[in-house]
Chain A
Amino acid sequence: SQTIHQWPATLVQPVGSPLSLECTVEGTSNPNLYWYRQAAGRGLQLLFYSVGIGQISSEVPQNLSASRPQDRQFILSSKKLLLSDSGFYLCAWGQGTRTGELFFGEGSRLTVL
């Protein structure tokens, strides 16, 4: 069966520090991978998605970047965090089909102080 894990679960970082959130998927190959963010009081905003190794699509201009160094690994990064980067980050995977549902990781709560 397929599983998805992301870490760390909770992170408190000072403004200007770097960020790395990792997500890995097991039990499937060539998944579509996604990073979403829920800011306070808002819905899920799509940040990045990837349909293959090294292929990253960015949805909104921001202080973050994503990389996919391996087929089932998706990393969200920042060189210098801003206060506005605080939020709940969710990684998800899905098959590249119209009806393929997304399966979400456990989430990472980032607080930037």
Chain B
Amino acid sequence: ILNVEQSPQSLHVQEGDSTNFTCSFPSSNFYALHWYRWETAKSPEALFVMTLNGDEKKKGRISATLNTKEGYSYLYIKGSQPEDSATYLCAPRTTDKLIFGTGTRLQVFP
């Protein structure tokens, strides 16, 4: 069973603060690393998919990095806004399946 850990479990920040979360996963049998954002009352939506060691992806104020050798990924949010409030899930992919971590629940206060 793939063990995917995310930290912290929850995070409360003020609007304008920058923040980051960690995803750690076994580095063997690794195909890709996915990040999803799950807002309340909605379905999870993909943010990034990364495959190569050293990959760095960016979408607006959100960016992510990947280290496949040591088995971790960071997600960064610059200048958090209330609309960033959501649960952020990482999921390494092995063959045909994605195994999700427990997520980091972010709440941004105005």
Contacts and interface: CB of A to CB of B under 8 A. Distances in A.
- SS class, residues of chain B in contact with chain A: strand
B43 A99 contact: no
Interface residues of A, number: 25
A51 to B, nearest CB: 6
Interface of B: 6, 31-32, 34, 36, 43-46, 49, 51, 89, 91, 93, 96-103
A43 B43 contact: no
B26 to A, nearest CB: 15
Contacts of B91: 44
A51 B79 CA distance: 41
Interface of A: 32, 34, 36, 42-46, 49, 51, 57, 59, 90, 94, 96, 98-107
B34 A101 contact: yes
B109 to A, nearest CB: 22
Given A98-B31, A99-B32, A101-B34, A43 B103 contact: yes
